[in-house]
Each structure stands twice: as structure tokens, then as C-alpha cells.
Structure 1
Amino acid sequence: MTIPAPQQPDRPAGWVSTGLSWQDGRAVLGAAHGARVHERAVEPGAEVGWLLGGPRRCTGAWLAGATERTPCPHHAVIDPDAAATQCPACQSVDRGLALARDQILDDGRTYLLYLAWFGEGLLKVGLTAEQRGDSRLLEQGALAYAFTARGGLPAVRRAELTVAASGLARERYKSRLKADHWWSHGDAPHRRTVLTEARAQAHRLLDGHAVELLADRPVVDHVERYGLAGGAPEVYREVAGLADGAVVAGRLRPPIGKHLFLDQADGSGPLLLDTRRLTGWTLTAVSGRPSEGLVLQERVRPPEPDTQEALF
């Protein structure tokens, strides 16, 4: 389904969205104008409206040793529907991508190995820099997690590979699969038991590894923080495409990782926005305007997993 966008005059370059991140336990939406950066806290219950201006542009890169993002020197245009938010040149020098691709073997920082729970049967193993706290877990939308080991990057990466190779947990899950488990996450005691037992199993696998095993770190639960104690909306529409002149508006629900539910003033049901789609668009604040110019997909709560054992 497509909502047609109104015609818009040409607009000068302005604040370009750098997406949603979690900092010190709170979600913030960032925007950059050259080297200047502005961040706004995502407050549940707040009314928001963003007019998107194109073209969609590369958001630059985090360089090794830098404390802030470096703007793209080419002002490169990227595909409106692309998952990547950087041009090839910025991707090639980005510190985070280099770490993910094992192109940086050691950066001198201390890392934490974690086990994250995204729903029944969805256990993930990963690592994050200790200085980031639980920001990476919040950004991924982890429903609960447990820090499992601590050490330098080479040792923690080897521990991550060991746990993944055992089949105990996987290194990644697709965003759609995570979202399908927002309704069937059990209760907090169950999540705590699953993660506590998984951590004990991981520790047995990591016996002899050059990492500090963390047995006394508490299991942290995010279900209440994400507003998912009662589940996500039964029926909603997901933003599947954005374009120049589109408007994204509504009343915010608590963010879930990098996703936002926005209740619509016309009562048409909430919209689900993956904020990574905003990244690279020039944003102008507007008020009193409905969402328009969006490609939407109808969504309903997924059916409960069939747990009945086969008879034959």
C-alpha cells in the first residue's frame, strides 16, 4: 500500500538523520549538519512529525580513534531503499564495520561476551566494548541478556566463535524474526532461567580460554522497558519504503531496539518504523500533518509457534 506524497519544492540541505542509538540507557535520534550533531531523546508519549527531504545521503564513518562521526567527504547519494547507509568509500574506513569483518584484530579495549535472548529458541552470542555498557544490547532489541565473559578483543572473539560453533547460540538473527517474537516472550523468571543455564553451559565450553568468566553478573531484562509486557499491537502497518516529501508522524510508544511504533491521530492503527530507514534523509520538524508518502505493509500478530509433538 502506498500513500501518495504531496509535491514539495526544492529544499536546501539541512539536518541529515543519523538514526537511533541508545546512550546511557536512553534512546536518542541523531541528526548531523556537516560536523555538527544534534540528538533528541525518544520520549514515549511525545508527538513527532518529520518531513523527509532528499536525496538520501551517506552518513559518513566512524574512524579509528575518533570520538565522533566524520561526515562523508563526497556527499554521496545512496539508494532510498538500501539497507546500507554509507557509500562504499565510507564503508571501507568505518571502524565498526572493520571490527565486524575481523579486519581489526585488537584495538586495545576491553570487551564483554554476552548471551542475548530474543524469544524462545533465539539465543544470540556476541561481543561489545565494555565502555558501551548495554547500549549494543538495547540497540539490537534484546529482550534479555547476560554478560558471560570479559577480556581483550582477540580472546573474546575466539570465545564468541567457540560458543557459536557449539550450537548453543547464533551470531545473528534477522530483524523480522526478532520482531515476530515480541508477543511470545514468556515471563521474566523463564527468561532468567534460560540465560542462567546457557551461561553456565558457555562457561563449560570456555574452560581454558584466556577470558575472565563472569558468573555473578545479573541477567538483565528489557521487556518492560520496551513496553512489551502485554505484547506489541495485534494489528499494525510497517513502513516498507520512504521517499522525498514523505511525512512520518504520530505519538511515540517506547522504542524497541531501533524500532518505533507511532500511533496515528486518525485512529488507523500504529505504524512500525525501523529508524534505520530514516538514516540519510534530511529531516524537517512539522506538526499537525498526518503520515503521508509512505509505502506500507499490513501486519498482524504472528501465530503462536506450534509446539505439539509429531505423532509419527
Structure 2
Amino acid sequence: MWRSGGIGWAGGAPGLRWWGGRVSPVAYGRPLALRAVGGRACAGVRENPCPTGAAVPERSTGGLCPGCARLDRAHSVAADTFADDPRPYRVYLAWFGPGTVKVGITGEHRGSVRLLEQGAVAFCWLGRGPLMAARRTEEVLRQALGVPDRVPYERKRALRVAPPDAAARRGEIEELYGRALGVGGWGETLEALPFAAYDHGDAFGLGELPALDGTVTGLVDGGTVTGRVLAAAGPDLHLRDPGGRHLVLDGRLLAGWGLERAAEDDPWSVPVAPAPREADARTGQEGLF
């Protein structure tokens, strides 16, 4: 039985990952038909198996048992436990939709993978330098610009439907870049980078996505997911189910499940929650500056 590692990004394209390192490409416009089997198990941390083989709740997006989750957090950049990391880091400005932006950092060695994993529709680099300098800059800009440290996935999904075109996205990113450069206190410790806008509209397959009808709340043993892949962004797969609904499957919910191939005409049989009203999903960040 193959166990899923969720949705990942490599070479600018999404793929369904498996324990052991295998990756199955995800192709837009192609059918997807799978069945969850064998219960859901903790994936372990950093290529090390879970020592207890613990079960994971169906609705958990972390895919880890509490013990492995604590260990994973302790080794994350966000925990600031590797202040002496000699590798350079980059500060970025990520755009998810009109009026929705965040500032973050990522290791320079990772390139733009972090932005793909977050589902950022467009982004630009702001600066590069040591980890702690990048972390300080992230906080300075977040406070000065009044932007959040995270954007809820419900909001990201709502904003992917009918986004502005690439030229408009670039224009907003460029304006925000200029305002960020005007914030003092970070250019002394970090190398500012020249403006260049990067767009993931094509990589995500964003075109004329229909209104979102619902999101999967969790897989169940024996439950099937069948449909056609419309788009992918971050961990999310946007699917058209056999009944014509536009549904999102959060790939984090796949992690730890044994998956087997289902028939394309099998009925959809995992729980789905209605999508929040557009007005509710799109509200949240009051302003950028």
C-alpha cells in the first residue's frame, strides 16, 4: 500500500508525493480518482518515521502526531532555533489577491518553492542576508505596513476565483515594493534587491475558475475523490467533481493516508463543507498601509 505525503512542488509543477520519495505528477485537465484506505498514520519528521506509528485525526492539516509536530516545530526557521545558520535568507512580499499581502522569509537555497507552497499568486523579493537580519526585517515591515503574518486558506481560495490579470498583479506588487523600500531600519543589515515581479498564474492553472462550491473537510477510510483537476495552488487541488461542483481538496489532508486508484465514475464519498460566502471569505485584512 502506498501512503501519501500530500501535495508538493518541484520544478514549478505540483505533484502527489508518496512516502519513500516517489512523486506522481498532477496534470491540469486530467482526471483524478483515488480511494483512502488503511487509516491515517503520522508521517514522521524530516525523513525519520514516527517512532510510535501514531494515528492522525482525519481533519488534521498537519499530518503529524503531537510528538512529531513538536519536534518539527523545534527544527523550523519560524522557531528561531538556528540563529547561527550561515546560509543566506530572502525576505519576500507575497500577493494572494487585491488588498491581501504578507511579508515572509525563505532560505535562498529554496528559490521560489516556499511561495508556490503558500499559494502566492504573485511575489517579489525585497532583500537578502543572514537569517536573524531577515527575521528582524520581516517583523519591521510587517508592523510598519500593517500586514498579517499569515493569510487564511479560506481567503486565498476565494481570491483565486476571477483574480485580476497578470499586468494588474504586477502593478500592485510594484507599488507595494516601493512602499516597503520607504520603511526605514532594515536596509542597513540586509541587501535590498531590485524589483522584479514573479507570477504563478500559469503554474497554478488559474484561468476562469468557476465559483467555489465547497472544500473537503477530511478523508475517511474507503472514501473516494473523483473528478477533473482544474488548478492547483499551494497544497490545494481545485477539482470539478462528477456532479459539476467546483471543490477544493487540501493536499495536507492526504498526508498519511494509504491511497489506491479508484474508478473515474465512482461517486464522490468524502465529506464536503459548503464554501463560505464570498463576502465572508474575502474580508479579513483591513488594509495594507
Which residue of 1 is the match for residue 256 of structure 2?
280
Q: Distance in 2 between matches of 1:90 and 1:204?
A: 41
Say which is worse superposed, 247-256 or 124-133, in terms of deviation.
247-256
Which residue of 2 is the match for residue 213 of structure 1?
192
Q: Distance in 1 between matches of 2:26 and 2:212?
A: 23
Going from structure 1 to structure 2, the CA distance change for 1:298 and 1:212 (only over 3 Å counts) comes to same
Q: Distance in 1 between matches of 2:145 and 2:230?
A: 35
State the structure with more CA Rg. Answer: 1
The one of 6, 9, 16 aligned to 1:29? 16
Matched, 1:46 2:30: yes
1:258-269 → structure 2 map (5 Å cutoff): 258-265=235-242, 267-269=243-245
The one of 95, 101, 104 aligned to 1:123? 101
Contact residue 239 and residue 295 of structure 1 kept, 8 A: yes
Q: Distance in 2 between matches of 1:53 and 1:97?
A: 31
Contact residue 91 and residue 97 of structure 1 kept, 8 A: no
Which residue of 2 is the match for residue 296 of structure 1?
272
Contact residue 111 and residue 151 of structure 1 kept, 8 A: yes
Please give the root-mean-square deviation of Cα atoms over the aligned residues, in Å.
Answer: 2.2
Unaligned runs of 5+ in 1: 1-13, 63-68, 307-312
Q: Distance in 2 between matches of 1:220 and 1:256?
A: 15
Considering fraction of residues, name the structure with more helix: 2
1:206-245 → structure 2 map (5 Å cutoff): 206-216=185-195, 218-230=196-208, 232-245=209-222
Unaligned runs of 5+ in 2: 284-289
Q: Distance in 2 between matches of 1:22 and 1:143?
A: 14
The one of 10, 16, 20 aligned to 2:7? 20
Going from structure 1 to structure 2, the CA distance change for 1:250 and 1:140 (only over 3 Å counts) comes to same
TM-score, structure 2 normalization: 0.89
Q: Distance in 2 between matches of 1:155 and 1:174?
A: 26
TM-aligned CA deviation for residue 300 of structure 1: 7.5
Going from structure 1 to structure 2, the CA distance change for 1:97 and 1:117 (only over 3 Å counts) comes to farther
Letter in 2 for 1:237: G
Letter in 1 for 2:6: G
What SS does the aligned partner of 1:254 have?
strand
Going from structure 1 to structure 2, the CA distance change for 1:186 and 1:262 (only over 3 Å counts) comes to closer
Matched, 1:186 2:143: no
Letter in 1 for 2:192: L
Q: Distance in 1 between matches of 2:225 and 2:199?
A: 30
Count of matched residue pairs: 281
Which residue of 1 is the match for residue 123 of structure 2?
145
Going from structure 1 to structure 2, the CA distance change for 1:126 and 1:132 (only over 3 Å counts) comes to same
Contact residue 168 and residue 198 of structure 1 kept, 8 A: no
1:147-166: CA deviation from partner (whole Å, max 9, x where unpaired) = 11011111111110110111
